[in-house]
Structure 1
Amino acid sequence: MKVIAFAASSSSTSINKQLVTHAVSYLADANVEILDLNDFELPLFSEDKEKAIGQPDNAKAFLAKIEQADAVVVSFAEHNGSYSAAYKNLFDWCSRINPKVYQDKAMILLATSPGPGGAKNVLAAAAGSMPFFGAEVKGSLSIPSFYDNFDLAQQSLVDDSLNGQLQQVMSAL
């Protein structure tokens, strides 16, 4: 199984990238590629920009990565209760090329934040909307209070209950 995984964040120190990297470690037999949204940087989407430049190569490249995968795992950063600007912009460009951005792939949706909310707002938005964009959502999980529940040195969850929940969600792939 070929799996694409990424954090929906452009931060070089993304806690969501740490979470998604840990999560895919439970997919022992999978061929996993972890993407960095910074490799797919695009100008701010607008219809005027689209008319001027057409379909950007980075959006096409991102869609090609999804096309080549059997499954996708995303961990969402929450910015003011919603998607990060970097993810939303890439998604907007991609949806203009293929409205079914996730191309009927199996998906696991994750989210975390430093606070007790665990980015639940953005996770709920993603879980509710992704099926309209070609995602077959197999499971989702929010990890609250990242720095209390994740060992940075070991790059793993320290809470047994959360760890079990993560393993169960990942087993849906």
Structure 2
Amino acid sequence: MAAILSLAGSNSSISINYKLVKHTSSLIEGHEIRLLNMARYPFPMYSEDEEKQGYSNSLVELKNDIQRADAIILSVNEHNGNPSAYFKNVIDWLSRLERKFLLDKKVLLMSTSGGKRGGIGSIGVIESLLPRFGAEIISTFSLPSFHENFNADGIIDDSLKIEHQKALNAFLETLK
């Protein structure tokens, strides 16, 4: 049984990426799942001046949660074709606390947006960024047009549902 940490790279209280992570986590059996709502983790914008004041307890706790996990399910939001400033800031803080904060972590990387590209730009940026900190990206999934393709029961479109399940299965297969 693997310990899986699930989170979205969004600090929005109504994050659609959090909804996707929560749904994905609900499909997993036989593993320990810890679901984090990043809306509860406020961090100042990273700067050397801020760093001189020390690291917040929330940051240290987040790093410890990541290090206790065997694997991570992450859904990143997108702002203008890139990851949100919030999530990039979280990465900046974590990497200053410990450069290889994702060492040996297997990652299912996802994204969704209200648009037809489904946050694919953000996935591309994060997919190339996370390995620098030790992550192994196992699979990716992009859900376009969230409001048309997702409801309280999960992913509505059958082909997207199958694609999502394939990405999840590939990720889970590495945890055996």
State TM-score, norm by structure 1: 0.94
Q: Deviation of residue 56 (structure 1)?
A: 2.1
Q: Which amino acid in structure 1 is aligned with residue 59 of structure 2? A: A
Q: Deviation of residue 89 (structure 1)?
A: 1.4
1:166 aligns with 2:164: yes
Q: Is the 1:37–1:86 Cα contact (8 Å) retained in structure 2? A: no
Q: Is the 1:66–1:102 Cα contact (8 Å) retained in structure 2? A: yes
Q: Which amino acid in structure 2 is aligned with residue 91 of structure 1? A: I
Which sits farther off after the overlay, 80-89 or 133-142? 80-89
**Counterparts of 1:67 and 1:100 in 2: how far apart (Å)?**
10
**Counterparts of 1:62 and 1:85 in 2: how far apart (Å)?**
18
Aligned pairs, number: 170
Question: What residue number does 2:107 align with?
Answer: 107
User: Secondary structure of the residue that 1:11 maps to in structure 2?
Assistant: coil
Question: What residue number does 1:48 align with?
Answer: 49
**Counterparts of 1:61 and 1:38 in 2: how far apart (Å)?**
15
Q: Deviation of residue 101 (structure 1)?
A: 2.2
**Counterparts of 1:21 and 1:67 in 2: how far apart (Å)?**
20
Question: What residue number does 1:65 align with?
Answer: 65
**Counterparts of 1:101 and 1:78 in 2: how far apart (Å)?**
23
Q: Is the 1:111–1:120 Cα contact (8 Å) retained in structure 2? A: yes
Question: What residue number does 2:124 align with?
Answer: 124
Structure 1: 4+ residue segments shifted above 4 A: none
RMSD over aligned Cα, in angstroms?
A: 1.1
**Counterparts of 1:10 and 1:62 in 2: how far apart (Å)?**
14
Q: Is the 1:19–1:75 Cα contact (8 Å) retained in structure 2? A: yes
Q: Deviation of residue 106 (structure 1)?
A: 0.6
State TM-score, norm by structure 2: 0.92
1:136-172 per-residue CA deviation (whole Å, 9 max, x = no partner) reads 1110011110111112x32x00111111111111112
Q: Is the 1:37–1:87 Cα contact (8 Å) retained in structure 2? A: no
Q: Is the 1:114–1:145 Cα contact (8 Å) retained in structure 2? A: yes
Gapped regions of structure 2 (runs ≥ 5): none
**Counterparts of 1:120 and 1:56 in 2: how far apart (Å)?**
31
Q: Which amino acid in structure 1 is aligned with residue 167 of structure 2? A: V
Gapped regions of structure 1 (runs ≥ 5): none
**Counterparts of 1:79 and 1:104 in 2: how far apart (Å)?**
28
Q: Is the 2:149–2:155 Cα contact (8 Å) retained in structure 1? A: yes
1:61-116 per-residue CA deviation (whole Å, 9 max, x = no partner) reads 11100111111000010012111122121211110011112121110000000010
User: Secondary structure of the residue that 2:20 maps to in structure 1?
Assistant: helix
**Counterparts of 2:83 and 2:101 in 1: how far apart (Å)?**
16
